[in-house]
Amino acid sequence: MPAPAEADPVLLSVAAQLPQPVFTTGELLDAARPLFSDRLLDMVGGLGIGKRHSVLSNYPDVVFGGAEPKLEIATADLAAQSARTALAKSGIDPGEIGLVLGVTSSPGRLLPSLVCDVIARMPELPRDAANLSIEYMGCSAMAKVVETCRWYLAVNPRKRVLAVFTEAITPLSPPLSGRYGHFSEVAPEQRQSTVDALHSFLFADASVAMVFAAHGKGPSFGPVKNLTNDVPEDTELGTVPDGGSDIPVVQAVHGRRLYTLSPDVTERGSHYAKQTIGAVLDDPSCTLGDPTQASVFFMHTGSTRILDALCEGFLIDRASPAVAASYNVLRDYANTLGCSVPLMVAEPVRRAGGQGLVCAFGLSFSAGAFTVNIPAEGWTP
């Protein structure tokens, strides 16, 4: 029996849910000023992030004042809110959902999984729906979701897929005390302290849910091109080494799991982006001659500096409307790992018809790129 052809998943609806607490970069800079050197203040203030949302109501006090965290909303509750909104926007009967995907690198708890917590909170979902966790894929998670939807909908074309992306990273930011310097001001053995300081400004929390089908009127997503640990050493570009079975105890004195980050991430990430986008352009289903022809180009990175470098590498004007969503999402929501690309898709603007590109790379180390085909008549989330 011949294998069924893969189906380009069509997006029926998308909905973003942000926790209510929001903190500007200015607020965090004021709190950090007694602890950070001037050069470090310039670095974290120049990431291109204007504000970030947190599931903690007292996030700055936790990071800079040693306060006990006050949880405004549980991670799974935030996920269920976005899922319900996406289902309502899709207009489908929840009974049509055949697969639920829980997508996170920062779950509220390690067990039960996010996807099972969401199903428990949503009695309207079928109890016999298949479910799958896509976890700890960092910023490249959207590519894994598109790939999974392609496989599932090819053999279940009458079913629908509910994908729930949720990240709650701010509670993992380490409390800071003492003095912190820029990477150029500290000895190599002190680099981790600067990474800890960066963590408090770079990351934020969000949830985005999407409903996919084999057919529909929304944008469709083309074949995915993946690249993972192109050289074995890339797996160490960024790690969370403790809290797992190898190192079951938290090692850092601040009581949070360690988050390491290599200085080579930017250079290697650019390599992954160029390789995967090149593979997409070479695919017969891609109608684009080069990235400058894309109607939209969603790129997920951690700073405007990296975005600027990618735009330069792809010969795209950084002021082009095609890449505006990448800068906007970074500015308004910070780095939300697996939620960042979905937030770009959910941006409430009308997209002109045409073929676009999506690319994201992140720790683990993995990248994914694919096309997005917006209907000729245009599309608004």
| Secondary structure (H, E, C), 209-262 | EEEEECCCCCCEECCCEEEECCCHHHHHCEECCCCCCCCCCCCCCCCCCCCEEC
Closest CA to 138 of 309, 302, 18, 328: 302
> What mean pLDDT is predicted for residues 108-131?
97
The tokens for 135 are 């976890």
What's the rounded Cα separation, in Å, for the pair 220 and 233?
35
Question: 313-340 burial, b for 16+ CB within 10 Å, e for fewer?
Answer: ebebeeeeebbbbbbebbebbbbbbbbb
What's the rounded Cα separation, in Å, for the pair 301 and 351?
22
Within 10 angstroms of residue 88's Cβ, the number of other Cβ atoms is 13
What's the rounded Cα separation, in Å, for the pair 341 and 208?
10
**296-315 residue pLDDT tens:** 999 998 889 999 999 999 99
> What mean pLDDT is predicted for residues 170-184?
97
3-state secondary structure of 11: strand
The tokens for 57 are 């109501």
Provide the pLDDT confidence category of residue 343 given band limits of 50, 70 and 90.
very high
> What mean pLDDT is predicted for residues 198-210?
98
Is a pLDDT exceeding 80 seen at residue 38? yes
3-state secondary structure of 353: coil
**42-62 residue pLDDT tens:** 999 999 999 999 999 999 999
Provide the pLDDT confidence category of residue 131 given band limits of 50, 70 and 90.
very high
Cα torsion angle, 52, 182, 301, 304, sign: positive
The residue to which tokens 């004007």 are assigned:
317
Q: Which long-range contacts (CB under 8 A, 24 or more apart) does 191-195 make?
A: 191/263, 192/258, 192/260, 194/40, 195/259, 195/260, 195/261
**258-300 residue pLDDT tens:** 999 999 999 999 999 999 999 999 999 999 999 999 999 999 9
What's the rounded Cα separation, in Å, for the pair 18 and 33?
27
> What mean pLDDT is predicted for residues 77-105?
98
249 within 8 A of 242, measured Cβ to Cβ: yes
Closest CA to 141 of 253, 77, 224: 224
121 within 8 A of 102, measured Cβ to Cβ: no
The tokens for 124 are 């309207």
